[in-house]
Amino acid sequence: MNDPQKAAEQIAAAAKQNAAFYLTEIPPEIEPTRRLLEHSGIAPENVDAHIRKILIEQRDKAWAVFPYGAIGSFRFLDFNQTLQDPLFETVSKRLRAPGSAETFLDVGCCLGHIVRQLNAEGVPSERLYGTDLQASFLDLGYDLFRDRDSTRATFVAGDMIREEEPRLEELIGKIDIIYASAFFHLFEYEDQMKAGKRMVKFLRPENQNAIIFGHNGGPKIVGWEKYVLDEETWRHMWDEIGEATGTTWKTEMNVESNDEWIKVRFARGSTKIQNARDRLSKVAILIDRVTKKG
């Protein structure tokens, strides 16, 4: 953001809009983070104090950078939704398979909790990547997980929707699996498409089994449909991304929705489509990276 006044206005507007998400108490569902912190070497008896310190200092530092609902609600402490996604488990197994050299990138990784989770599950950190617009979120992640000097994971700050973004070039052609949680829905169609095109560029061209997955959703506030795309629009977007990148994508979507909320999981690129309909999912499936869809 080049215009400081405009940036300040956007931050103030987001703080107002997302005020309802701002929790003042530690949410109960933080077991995943508790386990991760223990894994990172914090003694179990010190974990709570560390978490409290984070809640008082770190979370508010992140909120001041940009008041995302995910920050206000400590979503980075509670990533049960990710852990409960069957595809996340599949991906973790795939990354841990003997001889696997595949890489994983979390786009809009925030503090990098998912990267640390996969590492704790046994994926070597050198095959893990995270990227976020906010370099300060990546820094907070190092503080939270106390691994600035020990992790070999790559964290890159960059803007996924900026046309020219030299900082992200190091990711081009290196990634096999991309995760994007609460990310696409930050943008309207055109910017979602830019992000999608950039993701395709990140994928290793020789891998026919690449995956892009994640979730979108949120409260049905005015205009939400522009952000949480419906099935037809999502498919259309991936057709356009395919045309622009010389790839072919097939999409599927399942939505959980009521009058107030919508939750969407979208998932997987693969040359084989199996049981995709069984999942609560919105699926972008990479069929063939070189042949355009007929």
Ligand X SMILES: C[S@@+](CC[C@H](N)C(=O)[O-])C[C@H]1O[C@@H](n2cnc3c(N)ncnc32)[C@H](O)[C@@H]1O
Binding stretches for ligand X (CB under 6 A): 68, 70, 75-76, 108-110, 132-134, 137, 159-161, 181-183, 186
Minimum separation from the CB atom of position 183 to ligand X (A): 5
| Smaller CB separation from ligand X, 161 or 287 | 161
User: Residue 71, by phi and psi: left (phi above 0), alpha (psi -120 to 50) or beta?
Assistant: alpha
H or E element at residue 96: helix 86-96
Closest CA to 126 of 106, 146, 102, 144: 102
Minimum separation from the CB atom of position 69 to ligand X (A): 6
| Smaller CB separation from ligand X, 47 or 107 | 107
**In sequence order, what are the beta bridge partners of 175?**
203
SS3 286: strand
Residue 60 CB coordination number (10 Å):
14
Minimum separation from the CB atom of position 129 to ligand X (A): 13
Nearest residue to the partner ligand X, using Cβ: 108
| Smaller CB separation from ligand X, 188 or 232 | 188
Minimum separation from the CB atom of position 184 to ligand X (A): 10
Rounded (10°) CA dihedral 142, 71, 68, 149 = 0
| Smaller CB separation from ligand X, 160 or 248 | 160
| Smaller CB separation from ligand X, 68 or 234 | 68
SS3 211: strand
SS3 157: strand
**In sequence order, what are the beta bridge partners of 106?**
130, 179
Minimum separation from the CB atom of position 165 to ligand X (A): 9
